[in-house]
Structure 1
């Protein structure tokens, strides 16, 4: 068993209640296999996003992506913060997620971010099914990205995402990130976020 395979086993969620296997196995690595992500791989991921639920079926999500070695990849990488730049170039694909801010009749779409999240949830599970990892990032300069990609008014970048097949060598990461990669996963208990009948009610 390789070092990375052992890490993958250790990353399986220590769940309190049984959940779908792909959800247990999902985590966000900072190293990736050298196996390239193909255009058909990306089309399958976007197809999963396409069939996510959305308010009134408005489908407000938008994506810009680039393969390593392409201009789009470099533009996205240049918009990442310094921390994420320290590892994200391990990924064969970089992507930005965005949402449409208005409804078709011009009103604020309060649910657009929720719907983008549902699309990314679909994409993440489809990726896991194919052995592809998605690492979602908040650390990027969205204002710079809006200008670099000449995003039209009414659309807003939300996150950056590193995409690649699971695998890779820990030695590609700085030492502090190697430790994080091997650290134990933690989640707050259900009693901190799921309440029956009354806010903060403990079940």
Structure 2
């Protein structure tokens, strides 16, 4: 069985070009250490969100968070897809991330989801600096989350996030997920998404 320490080394991205080391180390774990996030840890993560870029400085991001063992944590878990519920309980900290859909003037904020993504990029890099793994999840029932957490009209829950210090025991995962956890990371080549001078298919 691959140890967690070896897994972290194996997950370091095999880059074609040199990039910032924390970006190379980042991956989305499904296992975590039992170490709890302190209030200071949480504040540092959200401070990185606070200073992320946003269109017209509107800062449309919103978060609901909870520590393992709390009612809020169980309610977030209950909003996750069946697949994500198979492993997300390993995380000591869960979040729902959403955004404000309109500007204060009542116009659609086309860039709100983009800004939420930027804020989560900041958080993910800050977390990596702190030895914390972040796993973003598309598998969340946002309609249920809106109902369970009384999300006001005009806001939209977009994603769920599992957070915890790197570590833990691979045996806490079902066998199929153990294989996924230790699988080699792959990415498409730059020339498949970055086009100089015009779009290329």
Name the TM-score class by shorter chain. Answer: over 0.9
Once the two structures are superposed, residues 5-31 of structure 1 have per-residue CA deviations (whole angstroms, 9 ceiling, x without a partner) of 101000000111100000000000100
Q: In structure 2, what is the Cα distance between the partners aligned to 1:150 and 1:167? A: 34
Query: 2:182 matched to which residue of 1?
Result: 182
Query: 2:63 matched to which residue of 1?
Result: 63
Q: In structure 2, what is the Cα distance between the partners aligned to 1:187 and 1:25? A: 14
Q: In structure 1, what is the Cα distance between the partners aligned to 2:187 and 2:146? A: 33
Secondary structure of 1:76's aligned partner = helix
How far did 1:71 drift?
1.0
Q: In structure 2, what is the Cα distance between the partners aligned to 1:170 and 1:78? A: 23
- Return 5+ residue gaps in structure 1 as ranges: none
How far did 1:174 drift?
0.1
Query: 2:31 matched to which residue of 1?
Result: 31
Q: Give the paired residue count.
A: 200
Query: 2:166 matched to which residue of 1?
Result: 166
Q: Given the two structures, how large is their TM-score scaled by the length of structure 2?
A: 0.98
Q: How does 1:131-150 map to 2 (within 5 A)?
A: 131-150=131-150
Query: 1:46 matched to which residue of 2?
Result: 46
How far did 1:196 drift?
0.5
Query: 1:106 matched to which residue of 2?
Result: 106
Q: Given the two structures, how large is their TM-score scaled by the length of structure 1?
A: 0.97
Query: 1:197 matched to which residue of 2?
Result: 197
Q: Which runs of 4+ in 1 moved over 3 A?
A: none
Once the two structures are superposed, residues 23-69 of structure 1 have per-residue CA deviations (whole angstroms, 9 ceiling, x without a partner) of 00000010000111111101100000000000000000000000001
- Return 5+ residue gaps in structure 2 as ranges: none
Query: 2:15 matched to which residue of 1?
Result: 15
Query: 2:91 matched to which residue of 1?
Result: 91
Query: 1:73 matched to which residue of 2?
Result: 73
Query: 2:4 matched to which residue of 1?
Result: 4
Q: In structure 1, what is the Cα distance between the partners aligned to 2:198 and 2:141? A: 39
Secondary structure of 2:5's aligned partner = helix
